[in-house]
Amino acid sequence: MRKILTVFVFIITLIVLTACKTTSTEKSENTNNTSSSGTTTAIDNTPGSLKFNLAFDNYERTMTYNQGDPLVMPDGKTFVQGDLKPVWQYISEELNIDFEDVTIQDQSGAEMINFSATTQFTDADIYGGNSIGDELMAYGAQGYFVNLNEHLNSMPNFKAYLDEYPSVKKAITAYDGGIYHIPYVAEIDNFARMYEVRESWVKTLLDSPLSGLETETAQITTAFQPYWIGSNARNIQNVIQLQNTAATGGLLTRNVALTKLVDYIKVTYPTFASQPSKLFLGAEAKYDIDELVALWRVIRLSPNTLSKLETGTANPEAVIAPYFVRQSSYREELFRLANYFNGQRVHGSDSYGSRFYLDNEGELQFSYAEDSFLQILDSFKAMYSEGLIHQEFADKSNKTNFRMDFYGKDTVVSHKLFGFMTFDFTASTTGIKDQTDVTAILPPVSKINGGNEFVHYIENTRVIKPDGWSISKTTTGKDLDDALRLFDYMFSEEGNVVQNYGVPANIDQNEQFTAPDGTKHPKLNAWFLEQATEHSSGDASTFVRDYIGGNMPIGYSKEIGFEYQYTSAQGFASWKLYNEANIFSSTYKATTSPYFSLVPPVFSLTEVDSDILATLNIGDSQVDAMFAYVTGAQNAAADWEAIKQLYVAAGIEDYIDIYRVAYESMK
């Protein structure tokens, strides 16, 4: 009876929200159905069973509930360690299919694929994970995964989605015309991550008289050299040059660094003379990478002032991180700053593994092996040596959530870790519990695409992701029909709601959410938001993935409506700032220059291509060498040229050629 009532309430909600498409559940009520072969047959209503191998390099993010504490839903249903999460139990019941999670819970997508390939993908029906789109497409073309193109008659909702979004269809079509995986599609062409800072730090340090700040004794040895100088000069003076020249014996103090920065702003930007913080904050911001580093120096040298600002008590032992990433697995966020060294492209799509981009002539280039990119490592190395970058950011053995440490523990007694700036998703970053100061700032200005004008540019927009899932070719008969029903369900009205917002128990049944643009969405109820605060410090995205089982990087289309609902006031202000600013960004619809074009999330490689690539050894070893160089690790490369030689020795030229041919075939 409980299930009947739940389903009834949910169906009523969907009728209120919108006119429903035909869902997989509705189809199961019909007498006949179109089978995977395209013919009309009687439905087999016997329960089905599917095995899943979905690996996301995070045991909390799989289908299985892996939290130490039970989760009690509003209806009293309790989920304990080892259960399927609420979303997956709900879908299992709705589709009348038993789900078995056979995933090694903390395995990465790449590890899963490599292991499963040795058994020819026979240990599960459905395979998916993070950053494995290339592999799913390649193995699919080799005959290991079902060609979904041959079964679109059984997937009317997915077919309608591809018709509506041809860019998605193009991006996932292999060289042989087959579609072997369905990707996780983020909110295409919306801004993804933004640069967030503690606004009050900038205002306190730059807009207050020096006498009003705490005394500071910290020093740094200057290493960073100005970029916008000489023939490349942006202004008559350069603030980094001013600070470096004023340093005594190479040692820079807070008072010297701050005085030079404030005086420089007043001379160079007279409209900001009365409020120097405006160089960095608000819609008028126009700082460049040198000016940002100059600010970071002041922040790094102000532990007493900033710890007192946050806790009420000055703490000379406070650890101030001017720039940090969410966790060490996000360490490549640092490289995005290369955009602000004369517009250097880094990632052609929103994935660390997407290291190809299109140059102005439309030719595919591999950023990580370019001299123009590798030279910037010297600047990152200098930043790190000055303590401007969190000192543990690149240590992959450290699994700490740095964002929570640096933004989310200000009120914890004896806590002494404080961060200033990061690059992350705005809703979750500004929504951290008790954090009301963090907000977005515009990206640094830079010349881009060979132009002479300094503009705001951000490479990171929401895209078709290289994550997703496929059906093993060994899955046949009713199991195949069930797998196709599941895949199509995610693009039905009901399935879209479940994967985007969760189960009926965490959705308000009486009211919709109205977004800033006037659109209507299912509304997360008070229970959900309270639980997100309790279990994930207000990060609803983490809560829905790790506890409820929604928003997972499988084959579905993510809606912005979920993210809106846990966005703070400063988060909305951040979106408004970015949406109203004249920010250049990457898009699937670029018309002015290939430079602004997003590349496909995955490339269709032949079996021969894959065999050759397997011999080239281009991958993590070179990236690890970059971070060893930046952090000054033992046995690190002597210079960036040595890192370039690692790529050359590993066969980078053949690697690039293979992907260029693959890209041309996809075009």
pLDDT for 275 equals: 98
- Does the fold of domain 193-458 match that of domain 2-178+467-567? yes
- On the question of pLDDT at 35 being above 70, the answer is no
In this predicted model, what pLDDT tens digit does every residue of 133-162 receive, in sequence order?
999 999 999 999 999 999 999 999 999 999
Are the C-beta atoms of residues 345 and 367 closer than 8 Å to each other?
yes
In this predicted model, what pLDDT tens digit does every residue of 38-81 receive, in sequence order?
444 444 668 899 999 999 999 999 999 999 999 999 999 999 99
Shortest CA distance to 470 belongs to which of 136, 170, 173, 184? Answer: 136
pLDDT for 553 equals: 94
Average pLDDT over residues 621-636: 97
- On the question of pLDDT at 385 being above 80, the answer is yes
- On the question of pLDDT at 417 being above 90, the answer is yes
At residue 175, what are phi and psi to the nearest 5 degrees? -60, -25
The mean pLDDT value of the chain amounts to: 91
DSSP 26: H
pLDDT for 224 equals: 98
Instruction: Compare 591 and 622 and report the one with higher pLDDT.
Output: 622
Q: Where are the beta strands (DSSP E) in 563-638?
A: 583-585
CATH topology of domain 2-178+467-567: D-Maltodextrin-Binding Protein; domain 2 (3.40.190)
In this predicted model, what pLDDT tens digit does every residue of 176-188 receive, in sequence order?
999 999 999 998 8
Computed from CA positions of residues 176, 655, 182, 45, in that sequence, does the dihedral angle turn out positive or negative? positive
pTM score of the predicted model: 0.85
CA distance 392 to 395: 6
- Helix or strand (DSSP H, E) at 183: strand 182-185
**Distant-in-sequence, close-in-space partners of 300: CB < 8 Å, separation ≥ 6:** 218, 220, 320, 322, 386, 387, 388
Average pLDDT over residues 414-438: 92
CA distance 21 to 600: 29
At residue 224, what are phi and psi to the nearest 5 degrees? -70, 135
Shortest CA distance to 626 belongs to which of 225, 338, 386, 345? Answer: 338
pLDDT for 190 equals: 85
In this predicted model, what pLDDT tens digit does every residue of 522-545 receive, in sequence order?
999 999 999 999 998 888 999 999
Q: Which of 35-44, 403-412, 562-571 is predicted least confidently? A: 35-44
Are the C-beta atoms of residues 546 and 446 closer than 8 Å to each other?
no
Are the C-beta atoms of residues 54 and 103 closer than 8 Å to each other?
yes
Are the C-beta atoms of residues 431 and 567 closer than 8 Å to each other?
yes
In this predicted model, what pLDDT tens digit does every residue of 258-284 receive, in sequence order?
999 999 999 999 999 999 999 999 999
CATH topology of domain 193-458: D-Maltodextrin-Binding Protein; domain 2 (3.40.190)
Domain chopping of the chain, boundaries: 2-178+467-567, 193-458, 607-666
